[in-house]
A and B are shown apart, each in its own frame.
Chain A
Amino acid sequence: MMEALAEEIGIPKEEYREILQRLGREPNRVELLLFKVMWSEHCAYKNSRPLLKELPKEGEAVLQGPGENAGVVRIGEGWAVAFKIESHNHPSAVEPFQGAATGVGGILRDIMSMGARPIALLDSLRFGPPEGRSRYLFKGVVSGIAFYGNAIGVPTVGGDLYFHEGYRENPLVNAMCLGLLKEEHLKKSRASLGRPIYYAGAKTGRDGIGGAAFASRELKEEKEEDRPAVQVGDPFLGKLLMEATLEAIERDLVEGVQDMGAAGLTSSLAELAHKSGLGVELNLDLVPTREEGMAPEELLLSESQERMVLVPKAGKEAELEAVFRRWGLDCVPVARTIPERVFRVLYRGKVVAEVPTEALAEAPTYVRLAQEDPEIRRLRERPIPPLEADPKEVLKGLLASPNLASREAVYERYDHQVGTRTALLPGQGDAAILWIKGTHLGVAAKVDQNPRYSRLHPRLGAMHALAEACRNVSVVGARPLAYTDGLNLGSPETPEGYYELKETVEGLKEASAALGVPVVSGNVSLYNEAGGRRIPPTAMVGVVGVLDVRRRAEMGFRRPGEVVVLIGEERGSLGASEVLYLLTKEEFGHPPALDLRREKAVQETIRDLIASGLTQTAHDVAEGGLLVALAEMTFPYGLGATVEVREEGLEALFGEAPSRILFTVEKARLQEATLLLEERGLPYRILGETGGKTLTVLTPKGVLEWEVAELKALWQRPLREVLDG
């Protein structure tokens, strides 16, 4: 009978047999449901764990690597930063506002669980072209992020946003959070033997039941029916829970903290017990509920938001309860740790489930057959045809294209300053900078990934994602310390999907080792496909770095008469580029090659140029190539430039390549700067000078000139029309 139920709820036959073997008996209904959620891809990383194991995780700054609620790095003077990225893709595809809002709420609780005060949010978003349903999803997601982040008072300081055909049916919403803590306040998901385990925060209802399982299968046509699987967020309750939790940690009342996220009580308690090498006995009759007559499986699997699990230090129980009472929140013991390593559940005085914690927490893993999709290879190997276009119009077209247009209309809806730490605001630089008050320390953060590169070459695309996020952090003056990865891919159960997963992780591994930047946390979201179409493999890489806030760079030209220098080659390539898409409406060709040794040297050099005070203006040359990067530098202060490009063709003006950075230096110190570049053996070009109200480009074929104000208007308009219209 249970076998039939297993089949009905989608537990594969071989996994059911594994459950029988591990239990030594047939599971009951509740137990089977526990396995169902705990062995979901979302909770168990069944397909990704064997691959992720290979990623470099060590680094001198690392205080906590993968495996906890978030990673933690040391930044100096006794301070540390906890950070993590997490996906909320499937809920957002069905109900964009609540999907995104609860995604933000969830990642905030992960950060709080480490004992850190959340100080910044970033969002990595992917949608289909901004029209029709994709436009509705985009607007809903932006509103949801604003709704939760603004109210809870954590600034949204950055992110990245792409529109691409491959996300039309399956948008991606990943939220990253950074939290600040004193090293000695670092908390883990741990409990000692015989301790009561407290449930704190909102009451449990029937919302979000089975969310983890929902996140682990493909989106079906009838997706509106999945709405009950989407949770509902309340940032006001979230704020109270955050303040109460942080107060309890600050006052040293707790020994362990765990967020109640995907798979609710089940996952948080099973994980807590398993990591502590203990068992847990949960009494469902003690769980605060907001609905009558909830069945045990509903209580166990509910993903009601704004809930935490806390383990008080011995003798601090009453004080802990008092803190939460003051904030008007439930805080009650619902479970206790026990020596037998089992997850035991009581309901109306009876044991309704009892399974070994290890059996639940250690799901079987899979290594599958990997094979590249021949269609992708064909696209990658397709040669770039000769392209003819008027560069004057091309630049305008690129700046007005959805992937390069200004993100101002989006970030204006987010409070990006609350907390008074945001030293570099959105749009001012290539990464956000948060100031650690009372010190000269700053923390820089950026999340990045290019879907065109990753689709056409998953491994190289992942390498580019990490390299570019590190470059962006370096370009504001910060040394990258570690990264978090949000891996969003299609089903691993096809050879093509598994190939993309494997190659993506391989790419991260290679770039991570070469750049010396380890992974400390992450999230895996598979089964992102609809109607048999996989999304482009999307490794959203969030990098955190540290700097002296007094020595930093913005992207905008500020002073006329400064020399504009390009580090790197003038010529880029057209494969997988934005200009190729603009001119052909197609995506093909080989993405730009990446020399990681060169990349590392370029990043070190720009940091040294900034630290030595030689430059305060620097910008990465990314999508759209040299002219787009130059135009972006004229926008913040409306100051133009005149430059000379010696190479011919679209490759020089709009071609893409990594390891390229533009910076400015005053004439009197130009020689110092170029000397440094020569010492490092890096190619560079002195392009021209800042000044005037135009962007003027001398090319072998003649002079190109644009009014800065006109370009800026073209660049600002598109997303404002999409969002506000």
Chain B
Amino acid sequence: MRWAIVRFPGSNCDEDARFALEKVGIRAEYVWHTERDLKGFDGVFLPGGFSYGDYLRAGALAAKSPVMEAVRRFAEEGRYVVGVCNGFQILTEAGLLPGALLANLNLHFTCKEVGVQVERNDLPFTRLYPRGKVLRLPIAHAEGRYYADPETLARLEGEGLVVFRYAPLKDEADYNPNGSLHDIAGIVNEGGNVLGLMPHPERAVDEVLGNADGLPFFLGLVKEVVR
């Protein structure tokens, strides 16, 4: 099994993505932003960071880079694309996922662990989690407030495209860290093969780091192919 990790100038979670993928035995290779061919890969991972300095708008410039044309074709072929944090922002900017990620309501970068509920577990990314389970996952972003127009939101909810939703870890009232509509933390496309999420499962894959709630996310990718 072989996944591509796209490196844009300014990506900074590329090594963390590789760490997580390799931990579950997936061969992870970096692909430069100028690459136009993704042949031979089973999946593509768009890592977090500040691609192109996040100038203009987070993810806006990366969405126009040469590699994104290849990612679009890859997705159209039904193969797996995962975007985390800046990767999610790039997927929405590229139109591969609906909606947009706006500035957090608190107007600043926020790094902390939050509760994230698994809304559906019929996808490779979530198949190893019980449905409804609340994971403890780190977030680290300034623009993570999910926004979409009412029709899009209704469609996302109606078709069950919301995969992750912010939820209380204990009983805290302020569990939504950025003001995302419908507490949305991650969504998938209709095909179920393109996933974007703001929390960082790749930062939570080892007990040495005090958190392994993200490990089943990556193990699920492996199980998919074995099946």
Give the CA-CA distance A143 to B112 in the complex, in Å.
17
Question: Which A residues touch B208, using CB under 8 A?
Answer: 423, 435, 549-550
Give the CA-CA distance A239 to B52 in the complex, in Å.
10
Question: Which B residues touch A428, using CB under 8 A?
Answer: 210
- CB closest chain-A residue, reference B13: A418
Looking at the assembled complex, report how far the CB atom of B212 sits from the nearest CB atom of chain A, in whole angstroms: 12
CB of A414 closer than 8 Å to a CB of B: yes
Give the CA-CA distance A642 to B12 in the complex, in Å.
45
Looking at the assembled complex, report how far the CB atom of A469 sits from the nearest CB atom of chain B, in whole angstroms: 23
Question: Which A residues touch B13, using CB under 8 A?
Answer: 153, 418
Docked-complex contact A240 and B140, CB < 8 angstroms? no
- Tell me which of B75-83, B103-111, B190-198 binds A: B103-111
Docked-complex contact A236 and B10, CB < 8 angstroms? yes
- Tell me which of A69-77, A144-152, A710-718 binds B: A144-152
- CB closest chain-B residue, reference A440: B208
Question: Given A150-B109, A236-B9 in contact, is the A422-B209 Cβ separation under 8 Å?
Answer: yes
Looking at the assembled complex, report how far the CB atom of B184 sits from the nearest CB atom of chain A, in whole angstroms: 21
Give the CA-CA distance A724 to B206 in the complex, in Å.
33
- CB closest chain-B residue, reference A435: B208
Give the CA-CA distance A632 to B138 in the complex, in Å.
23
CB of B213 closer than 8 Å to a CB of A: no
Looking at the assembled complex, report how far the CB atom of A220 sits from the nearest CB atom of chain B, in whole angstroms: 33
Give the CA-CA distance A412 to B12 in the complex, in Å.
18
CB of A425 closer than 8 Å to a CB of B: yes
Docked-complex contact B112 and A418, CB < 8 angstroms? no
CB of A328 closer than 8 Å to a CB of B: yes
CB of A416 closer than 8 Å to a CB of B: yes
Docked-complex contact B203 and A420, CB < 8 angstroms? yes
- Which residues of A in the span 221-236 have a Cβ within 8 Å of any Cβ on B? 234-236
- CB closest chain-A residue, reference B51: A236
Docked-complex contact B110 and A413, CB < 8 angstroms? yes
When each residue 130-148 of chain B gets 1 if its CB lies under 8 Å from chain A and 0 otherwise, what string results? 0000000010101000000
Question: Which B residues touch A550, using CB under 8 A?
Answer: 208
Looking at the assembled complex, report how far the CB atom of A144 sits from the nearest CB atom of chain B, in whole angstroms: 12
Give the CA-CA distance A525 to B79 in the complex, in Å.
56
- CB closest chain-B residue, reference A327: B9
Docked-complex contact A416 and B111, CB < 8 angstroms? yes
CB of A419 closer than 8 Å to a CB of B: yes
When each residue 92-119 of chain B gets 1 if its CB lies under 8 Å from chain A and 0 otherwise, what string results? 0000000000000010111110000000
Question: Given A150-B140, A151-B53, A417-B140 in contact, is the A724-B106 Cβ separation under 8 Å?
Answer: yes
When each residue 225-258 of chain A gets 1 if its CB lies under 8 Å from chain B and 0 otherwise, what string results? 0000000001111011000000000000000000
Question: Which of A327, A417, A724 contacts B203 (CB under 8 A)?
Answer: A417
When each residue 59-79 of chain B gets 1 if its CB lies under 8 Å from chain A and 0 otherwise, what string results? 000000000000000000000
Question: Which B residues touch A235, using CB under 8 A?
Answer: 50, 53
Question: Which A residues touch B16, using CB under 8 A?
Answer: 418-420
Looking at the assembled complex, report how far the CB atom of B163 sits from the nearest CB atom of chain A, in whole angstroms: 22
Docked-complex contact A412 and B200, CB < 8 angstroms? no
- Which residues of A in the span 280-329 have a Cβ within 8 Å of any Cβ on B? 327-328
Question: Given A420-B209, A435-B209 in contact, is the A414-B12 Cβ separation under 8 Å?
Answer: no
Docked-complex contact A240 and B9, CB < 8 angstroms? yes
Docked-complex contact A423 and B12, CB < 8 angstroms? no
When each residue 151-182 of chain A gets 1 if its CB lies under 8 Å from chain B and 0 otherwise, what string results? 11100000000000000000000000000000
Question: Which B residues touch A419, using CB under 8 A?
Answer: 15-16
Give the CA-CA distance A420 to B111 in the complex, in Å.
13
Give the CA-CA distance A235 to B209 in the complex, in Å.
26
Question: Which of B49, B54, B109, B210 contacts A153 (CB under 8 A)?
Answer: B49
Docked-complex contact B12 and A152, CB < 8 angstroms? yes
Give the CA-CA distance A503 to B106 in the complex, in Å.
45
Give the CA-CA distance A35 to B206 in the complex, in Å.
53
- CB closest chain-B residue, reference A408: B112
Give the CA-CA distance A21 to B110 in the complex, in Å.
57
Give the CA-CA distance A327 to B8 in the complex, in Å.
10
Docked-complex contact B138 and A417, CB < 8 angstroms? yes
Question: Which B residues touch A415, using CB under 8 A?
Answer: 109, 111, 140
Residue from A414, A417, A549 with most neighbouring chain B CB atoms (10 Å): A417
CB of A25 closer than 8 Å to a CB of B: no
Give the CA-CA distance A437 to B20 in the complex, in Å.
12
Question: Which of A236, A412, A414, A416 contacts B55 (CB under 8 A)?
Answer: A236
Question: Which of B50, B54, B200 contacts A417 (CB under 8 A)?
Answer: B200
Docked-complex contact B12 and A239, CB < 8 angstroms? yes
Looking at the assembled complex, report how far the CB atom of A464 sits from the nearest CB atom of chain B, in whole angstroms: 31
Give the CA-CA distance A150 to B104 in the complex, in Å.
16
Looking at the assembled complex, report how far the CB atom of B166 sits from the nearest CB atom of chain A, in whole angstroms: 16
Give the CA-CA distance A416 to B19 in the complex, in Å.
17
- Which residues of A in the span 418-467 have a Cβ within 8 Å of any Cβ on B? 418-425, 428, 435, 437
Looking at the assembled complex, report how far the CB atom of B119 sits from the nearest CB atom of chain A, in whole angstroms: 24
CB of B183 closer than 8 Å to a CB of A: no
Looking at the assembled complex, report how far the CB atom of A530 sits from the nearest CB atom of chain B, in whole angstroms: 30
Give the CA-CA distance A328 to B9 in the complex, in Å.
9
Question: Which B residues touch A421, using CB under 8 A?
Answer: 209
Looking at the assembled complex, report how far the CB atom of A266 sits from the nearest CB atom of chain B, in whole angstroms: 29
Docked-complex contact B19 and A412, CB < 8 angstroms? no
Question: Which A residues touch B206, using CB under 8 A?
Answer: 420
Give the CA-CA distance A411 to B111 in the complex, in Å.
8
Looking at the assembled complex, report how far the CB atom of A298 sits from the nearest CB atom of chain B, in whole angstroms: 26
Question: Which B residues touch A424, using CB under 8 A?
Answer: 210
- Which residues of A in the span 699-714 have a Cβ within 8 Å of any Cβ on B? none
Question: Which B residues touch A236, using CB under 8 A?
Answer: 9-10, 50, 52-55
Question: What are the 6 closest A-B residue pairs judged by CB atoms, nearest first?
Answer: A153-B12, A236-B53, A151-B50, A415-B140, A420-B16, A415-B111
Identify the B interface with A (CB < 8 A). 9-10, 12-13, 15-16, 19-20, 48-50, 52-55, 106, 108-112, 138, 140, 142, 200, 202-203, 205-206, 208-210
Q: A150-B109, A425-B210 are in contact. List 8 more A-B contacts (CB 8 A).
A: A151-B12, A151-B53, A152-B12, A417-B138, A418-B203, A421-B209, A435-B209, A550-B208
30 contacts between A and B (CB under 8 A): A143-B108, A150-B50, A150-B142, A151-B12, A151-B50, A151-B53, A151-B54, A153-B13, A234-B53, A235-B53, A237-B53, A412-B111, A414-B111, A415-B109, A415-B140, A417-B111, A417-B203, A418-B16, A419-B16, A420-B15, A420-B16, A420-B20, A420-B205, A421-B209, A424-B210, A428-B210, A435-B208, A435-B209, A437-B19, A550-B208
